Structure 1
Amino acid sequence: MSAHGSGTETISIPPAAGTMSPGTIALVNSAALADLISMAEAIEFIDGAMRDLSAGDIEAPQRWQMPIHAGARLAIMPGNAALSGFFGVKLLSLYDNADDNGLPGHQGVMLLFDRETGRIVAIIEASALTRLRTAAASAVATRALARTDATSLAILGYGEQARWHAKAIPLVRPITQVRLWGRSPEKAREFVRQHLSHFDDVVIAGSAKEAVRSADIICTTTHASTPILAVDWLEPGQHLNLVGASTRNEQEVGGEIVALSRFFVDCREHALAQASELRQALDRKWAGLKDVRGEIGELLDGKVEGRTNPTQITVYKSLGHVAQDIAVAAAIHERLDRSALVARVPF
């Protein structure tokens, strides 16, 4: 951009922070993303996104998946967030054996578009984005639903989401103890060494049942196809974030949890179609639609009640929603000039 005086001199004016020169796209990898936005900031952006979603200000169809071969799928998640000025789509490959190959379970990109011009303005590495926004969403739900005196956190699983939930939940509750369970004791010990060493009190549980015993907050972060958590292990006053099972073929807890708890979802429409725990409860008549107490956004805006006494069991069923991706991606776009790690390429 330039300004011209009465003479022939041209004065260059740098673009405003967060803007890109015409014909260029920002490429944001995991390192740049971490440089641009913290977990604490992401929690606040996700809080706002869930309110906007429940208010009807974000349009998004259900995620679409196509099988590639046994154990591999392509997922597409489009959305339009009018208030932010952006729309976008997240493209993911979902491979069951990703961990065996030393790769993230969600690989792909988030494409962010300007609503006014239709231009692609940023391409963001989707694995890092998904880890960040998913854990941030659980933290938003935990802040809204868990008892204020909750201090112990149980994590089932030791993958990517386990690590990020161990970062996020202590930002909204004063966690002093972490209880970890995974199928491999060796991997669990290594996870503790790498990611939980800053906690003074860490328990590697011998079973999932032992892990959730006396825990105030429970996060399930596996891709289990059958339940790893039995409803009769739960205790009064606990809060659960059901995170790992995001398709009808995955399930971390029995459908009985819906009627037993105050059960909240990120998006009612999507959960009714794709949340395996909820579908099982409805299909077997263990619960009715009224047992879905509301969306997290409705709770945050005071449209529905959350926890009403300290003995209730509360549940947040997280499928993940593109509203969360767009919210974080939009925030990243507005601060692109803050990181030298952002690449800018002609396009």
Structure 2
Amino acid sequence: MLVLSASDQERLLHMPEMIEAVSTALKEYSAKRTVTPVRTVLNVEKAEGHAIFMPSVAEGAGSLGMKYVGSFPNNKKMGKAAINGVVLLADVQTGEPLALLEGSYLTVMRTGALSGAATKYLARENARILSVIGTGAQSIGQCEAVMAVRNIEKIRLYNRSEKKAYDLAKQLRTRHEVEVLVHQDADQAIDGADIVVTATSSSTPVFSSRLAPGVHVNAIGSYQPTMQELPTHAVAGADKVVVESVEAALEEAGCLQIPIQEGHFSPERIHSELGFIISNEAAGRETDEELTVFKSVGFAAADIVVAKYLYEKALRENIGQRITL
């Protein structure tokens, strides 16, 4: 069995390949060639934490496995990470465990790759200005993926903790020749942006101003019915709202559920799953004036297909630690 740490995965990762891997997962899911149950969340009351289990099998992509994520906010008081995770990859033919991958880095880059795939099909070809609201752990994957599919010239950042925004700005300037600005107001940060990413844990909308025609939004932060990262008008006013999974989005995405409850949106207005667009069974962006929204809640099929991509590449490049169970 192979163990791949976060640093191992970073050595292996090539974002265009990652975007291709998640695109395969999206197509397989929408074609109903996967078994991907909605995530199981176990409340651990005494520790005030959540244990999340996400299994999937995508036989057409040769992938079988499960992701586990533990979210225990009180860990910070003990000097430990609040979120920990692993992905178990198994042989789709025999069920034998093949690899154990550190889950936090994989999730950051997989989530970024999902936004990269959405941006490829839904953002304007001439998009040049990226705005990112929320500059925590997920933000670097978002920036890397969007820059892999569009020629981004300027990145505008906003975070409640200004220091985190400056930290990301420094990281981006080190990695890329791109202009990076830090703003003190979210509405200011999105003003004039071609692509907007929201990557926060906020339960209430993170900006208030109206989005201009032609903007594309990747909303990746909220993942519970009570969390509404996007203002209702952003969803209600969109020409196309796209999701990974209609079932999961309607069960887990407060950004959609709350506008539905308010009477400003309906399930029938979800344009498509992204997998259908990638497969050319549904339209992506059709005009430069369309306002498009990709609402992501994550799905396990993407985790296991990405895990298989990293595992196979690790074997070829002799990266990782072999263990015997």
Q: Is this a same-fold pair by TM over 0.5? A: yes
Tell me, in whole angstroms, the C-alpha distance in 2 between the residues paired with 1:312 and 1:105. 39
Tell me, in whole angstroms, the C-alpha distance in 1 between the residues paired with 2:234 and 2:82. 27
Structure with larger Rg: 1
Runs of 4+ in 1 over 4 A off after TM superposition: 97-105
Q: Is 114-123 or 264-273 further displaced after alignment?
A: 114-123
Tell me, in whole angstroms, the C-alpha distance in 1 between the residues paired with 2:78 and 2:136. 13
In structure 2, the CA distance between the partners of 1:104 and 1:316, relative to structure 1 (3 Å rule), is: farther
In structure 2, the CA distance between the partners of 1:54 and 1:94, relative to structure 1 (3 Å rule), is: same
Say whether the 8 Å CA contact 1:112–1:123 is kept in structure 2: yes
1:274-293 correspondence to structure 2 within 5 Å? 274-293=252-271
Q: Does 1:66 align with 2:42?
A: yes
2:219 to 242, 251, 256: 242
SS in 2 for 1:272: helix
Structure ranking higher in helix proportion: 2
Q: Does 1:84 align with 2:29?
A: no
TM-score by length of 1: 0.88
Tell me, in whole angstroms, the C-alpha distance in 1 between the residues paired with 2:116 and 2:108. 12
Say whether the 8 Å CA contact 1:177–1:199 is kept in structure 2: no
Tell me, in whole angstroms, the C-alpha distance in 2 between the residues paired with 1:205 and 1:36. 33
Gaps of 5+ in 2: none
1:266-305 correspondence to structure 2 within 5 Å? 266-305=244-283
Tell me, in whole angstroms, the C-alpha distance in 2 between the residues paired with 1:133 and 1:175. 20
Q: Is 139-148 or 241-250 further displaced after alignment?
A: 241-250
Task: Tell me what 2:5 maps to.
Answer: 29
1:191-215, Cα deviation, whole Å (9 max, x unpaired): 2123334344221111000000000
Gaps of 5+ in 1: 1-24
1:117-172, Cα deviation, whole Å (9 max, x unpaired): 11111111111110111000000000000000000000001111111112111110
1:1-12 correspondence to structure 2 within 5 Å? none
Task: Tell me what 1:206 maps to.
Answer: 184
2:32 to 56, 60, 66: 56
2:97 to 105, 116, 120: 120
Task: Tell me what 1:46 maps to.
Answer: 22
SS in 2 for 1:323: helix
TM-score by length of 2: 0.93
Tell me, in whole angstroms, the C-alpha distance in 1 between the residues paired with 2:121 and 2:217. 12
Tell me, in whole angstroms, the C-alpha distance in 1 between the residues paired with 2:76 and 2:14. 25
Aligned pair count reads 322
Q: Does 1:228 align with 2:206?
A: yes
In structure 2, the CA distance between the partners of 1:314 and 1:105, relative to structure 1 (3 Å rule), is: farther
Say whether the 8 Å CA contact 1:36–1:338 is kept in structure 2: no
Matched AA of 2:303: D
Tell me, in whole angstroms, the C-alpha distance in 2 between the residues paired with 1:318 and 1:94. 19
2:146 to 169, 173, 176: 169
Tell me, in whole angstroms, the C-alpha distance in 2 between the residues paired with 1:234 and 1:82. 40
Q: Does 1:191 align with 2:168?
A: yes
Say whether the 8 Å CA contact 1:106–1:126 is kept in structure 2: no
